[in-house]
A = this chain, B = another copy of it.
Amino acid sequence: MAKRPTILDVARHAGVSKSTVSLVLQNSALVKDSTREKVTQSMTALNYVYNRSAAGLRGTPSGLIGLIINDLRNPFFTEFAASAQMRFAEAGYSTVIANADENPEIQAQVIAAMIEHGVSAFVLSPSYGGDAEAFDRIARAGKPAMQVMRKADDRTDLFPLYAPDFAHGGELATDHLMQLGCRSIAFVGGLEDRSVTAERMSGYYQVMAREGATPRVLSGRPTKNFGRAVALKFAEEPAAPEAAVCFSDLVALGMLSGFAEAGIALGRDFRLVGFDDIEDAATAFPPLSSIHCGPQEIGIETAETMLHWLDEGEKPAPERRTAVSLIARRSSLGSNEPVTPLDPRLDPPS
């Protein structure tokens, strides 16, 4: 394997100085078009590959974004990550995605590694717990960083927060069930010590209080297993609630599965609203009502906010909440809603 060609090789091949080649590389207007073309041809002829390490050494920003996700196996976050990455790519930035697996130690380690690798900025949907050290390190390195979805560090002046209006989502979901005539509504899933849980639950508490209804909260991990277990429990309970707002669609889909198992018809015997509106919510049977948080939109907007910060130097507001909406489907409405007709040939090509 021959040594990789450098700008000096290209310069020799094209018969110019290496500064000129460098100028071509930055797309500088200082270079005559004919010269630029000559140089470009030499580059392809020699199979030249730009060496970003060398550029980085001279202080050129790496054009790398560190995207750290608390749980990449959760489709809600995967969608967020994938769309943020797309948007960054359109703007010419490469994105390093890492999964912290809800583990603050892995998160800290990943942050350290990314700083060494010279990322230009961080976007993190952070893992809870751990000390502030990881965030401190970002601050010391002087890297722009945004927290998305969840607030793990309170210094939103340093690490602006961008998240859906979860509290309003909880309100919408509970209101919806109230309007369908339910009074006895449970809130299922979510770990109590987390800000997201508190926010989602606050809207629920608020509506329940307003209507003089008694709240019932079943906290737990936001997993299908937990949801399924709660549904099976409800199925055997004489005084089970009539409806539930779930912490997440994962919990709700678990409940849906548990109710199917117990022979309880959703939308009739029990009304259910999830949270996040992941793809599976629409495809489930019966289709699951959910609070649409738009992870894709958030991914795109987060990327744009960060690009603005990076390119214009304009720091975003400490906290910004995006609108959420209720998507009512048959898990709460019941079967009076028409079923979407579906034909295999209509499946959109990708």
Bound complex: CA A51 to CA B53 (Å): 10
Chain B residues near A47 (CB, 8 Å)? 140
Q: A239-294: which have CB < 8 Å to B? A: 253-254, 256-258, 260-261, 279-280, 283-286
Docked-complex contact B344 and A50, CB < 8 angstroms: no
| This chain: copies in complex | 2
Interface hit among A73-81, A169-177, A303-311: A73-81
Nearest B residue to A256, CB-CB: B285
Q: Could you pull out 30 A-B pairs where Cβ atoms are within 8 angstroms? A: A49-B116, A51-B57, A51-B116, A52-B116, A52-B117, A52-B118, A53-B62, A62-B117, A82-B101, A89-B110, A94-B117, A96-B97, A102-B350, A218-B344, A224-B280, A225-B342, A225-B347, A226-B344, A226-B347, A229-B343, A229-B344, A229-B347, A230-B344, A233-B344, A253-B283, A256-B285, A257-B283, A257-B284, A258-B285, A261-B339
- A residues in contact (CB < 8 Å) with B: 1, 4, 47, 49-54, 56-57, 62, 64, 72-73, 75, 78-79, 81-82, 85-86, 89, 94-99, 101-102, 106, 109-110, 113-118, 140-142, 218, 220-221, 223-226, 228-230, 232-233, 253-254, 256-258, 260-261, 279-280, 283-286, 339, 342-344, 346-347, 349-350
